[in-house]
């Protein structure tokens, strides 16, 4: 229903522009996009400034903060010294490192105890890795997906791979003992992720719900990312067209918030899971 309304409205706009200017539909799309670049005044100007801050300087600040804070946390934890004695569990696997990798990436304990949770965890983590890859692929130098493609990696499926499990994780938090052990921070983190993913989905799926298909293509996003990578400080508004732009801004804002809060959340398990599993699987040499 939403798709029909959105697509219908855009079609009306592009048709009107095409009719008024006597040009084809493509030119109409261009004209609508161009309309978003008219000079703003007053509150619109303030909003432009805020949107620019979110999409350019804040990205640098939040990514830099993420890297520094994570590095500080890792250094502090790894330099705090070893435990006073070995903490391994038995029996010791034949190859402790392989067993630790299996624990970390295969989560066999969860598969055994709660298979449905395991299924969504695997879907989520694989999806998250693809998501990172998909975003890197937007940079013009990589191109796992051809640069002329309208779609990004997964054509929207990757977003679903993380969104669906996040709904499941959130629902699971309200169940039985999980509700008691959950803190407000657990719910907020999941909500932050959920809305981040939903706005991402909106860009990958909703972006194609316009009458004439994609307004923002992979090439458009590549121009924005290349601008960030080259520190050009260009306003992304000049390369990302249409009404969906505001969704891009919200998506980037939520991503920035995630980057800033991530070092303080349990998401650090991404870094600590393997070392801790090694502690469990690898006994110290016997005296």
Residues 39, 41, 85, 148: which binds other proteins (CB under 8 A)? 85
CA distance 82 to 260: 29
Question: What residues contact 229, with CB distance under 8 A and at least 6 apart?
Answer: 139
Interface segment toward other proteins; rule CB under 8 A; list 52-60, 173-181, 194-202, 251-259:
173-181
The reply on whether position 15 binds other proteins by CB under 8 A is no
**Window contacting other proteins (CB under 8 A); options: 132-140, 177-185, 222-230, 250-258:** 177-185
Please report which residue ranges of 151-230 form alpha helices under DSSP H: 157-173, 176-181, 184-204, 218-229
CA distances 267 to 4, 190, 264, Å, are 38, 11, 8
> What 3-state DSSP class applies to 176?
helix
# chain residues binding other proteins, by CB under 8 A: 50
Least distance from other proteins to the Cβ atom of residue 186, Å? 6
Q: Which of 27, 61, 110, 260 binds other proteins (CB under 8 A)?
A: 110
Applying CB under 8 A, among 89, 98, 132, 136 the residue interacting with other proteins is 89
Burial class of residue 56, CB neighbours in 10 A (0-12, 13-18, 19+): buried
How far is 92 from 241, CA to CA, in rounded Å? 58
Confirm or reject binding of residue 101 to other proteins (CB under 8 A): no
Rounded Cα distance, 152 and 136, in Å: 10
> Out of 182, 194, 195, 223, which residue is the one contacting other proteins (CB under 8 A)?
182
Q: Is 90 in the site for other proteins (CB under 8 A)?
A: yes
Residues that bind other proteins (CB under 8 A): 73, 76-87, 89-92, 103, 107, 109-110, 113-114, 117, 177-178, 180-186, 188, 264, 266, 268-269, 272-273, 275-277, 279-281, 283-284, 286-287
């Amino acid at each position: 229903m939403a798709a029909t309304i959105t697509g219908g409205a855009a079609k009306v706009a592009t048709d009107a522009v095409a009719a008024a200017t006597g040009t084809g539909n493509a030119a109409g799309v261009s004209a609508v996009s161009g309309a978003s670049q008219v000079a703003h005044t007053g509150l619109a100007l303030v909003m432009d400034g805020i949107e620019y801050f979110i999409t350019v300087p804040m990205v640098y600040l939040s990514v830099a903060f993420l890297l520094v804070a994570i590095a500080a946390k890792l250094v502090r934890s790894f330099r705090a010294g070893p435990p006073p004695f070995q903490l391994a569990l038995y029996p010791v696997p034949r190859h402790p490192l392989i067993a630790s990798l299996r624990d970390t990436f295969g989560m066999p304990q969860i598969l055994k105890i709660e298979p449905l949770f395991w299924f969504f965890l695997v879907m989520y983590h694989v999806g998250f890795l693809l998501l990172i890859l998909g975003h890197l692929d937007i940079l013009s130098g990589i191109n796992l997906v051809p640069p002329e493609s309208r779609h990004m990696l997964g054509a929207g499926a990757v977003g679903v791979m993380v969104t669906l499990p996040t709904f499941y994780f959130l629902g699971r938090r309200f169940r039985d003992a999980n509700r008691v052990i959950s803190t407000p921070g657990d719910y907020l983190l999941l909500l932050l992720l959920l809305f981040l993913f939903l706005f991402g989905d909106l860009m990958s799926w909703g972006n194609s719900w316009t009458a004439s298909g994609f307004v923002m293509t992979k090439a458009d996003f590549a121009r924005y990312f290349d601008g960030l990578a080259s520190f050009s400080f260009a306003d992304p508004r000049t390369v990302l067209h249409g009404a969906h732009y505001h969704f891009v801004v919200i998506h980037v804002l939520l991503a920035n918030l995630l980057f800033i809060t991530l070092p303080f959340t349990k998401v650090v398990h991404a870094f600590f899971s393997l070392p801790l599993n090694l502690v469990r699987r690898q006994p110290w040499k016997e005296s």
